[in-house]
Structure 1
Amino acid sequence: MRFQDKYGDIAQLLFVKLDDALLKGMVRFWDPTYRCFTFNEVDMVLIIKEYSTLFHYDFRDPFKICWK
């Protein structure tokens, strides 16, 4: 089975241009213990649609995403 058949176009994330200011802001509010963002003691977790917007990538089939 080929990688693309199993995971779809996830390898295209290697070519996404990152926004440094956005990345710095995300790191600032990231809580590694709970693996989520914390704003004023409120935990927030991104959904696939929000990741799609941030990465400018269309996740058409969320089941082809490589989950840890």
Structure 2
Amino acid sequence: MHFWDKYGNVAQLLFIKPDDALLEAMVRFWDPTYRHFTFNEVDMMPTIKEYSNLFHYDFRDPLRIY
């Protein structure tokens, strides 16, 4: 129950069908050194809201670690 309170229902992420083209693009443009995406010379970092849309998961609780 403590895990559930802290992390919520993260197990539902196991049932999301990944978009292969999206994953390929994310891997191609991800810069692990700086932990952001690099497109040409523009650095981009998705927001929690954008991750929420990509993964179809509601990340509203600010006290939870995602």
> In structure 2, what is the equivalent of residue 59 of structure 1?
59
Structure 1 residues 6-57: Cα deviation after superposition (integer angstroms, max 9, x where no partner): 1112232222211001100111110111110001111100110000000011
Q: Distance in 2 between matches of 1:24 and 1:11?
A: 23
Q: Please give the secondary structure, in 2, of the residue aligned with 1:59.
A: coil
Normalising by structure 2, report the TM-score: 0.86
Q: Distance in 1 between matches of 2:44 and 2:36?
A: 6
Structure 1 alignment gaps of length 5 or more: none
Q: Distance in 2 between matches of 1:35 and 1:42?
A: 13
Q: Percent identity?
A: 76
Amino acid corresponding to residue 57 of structure 1 in structure 2: Y
Q: What is the root-mean-square deviation in Å for CA atoms of aligned residues?
A: 1.4
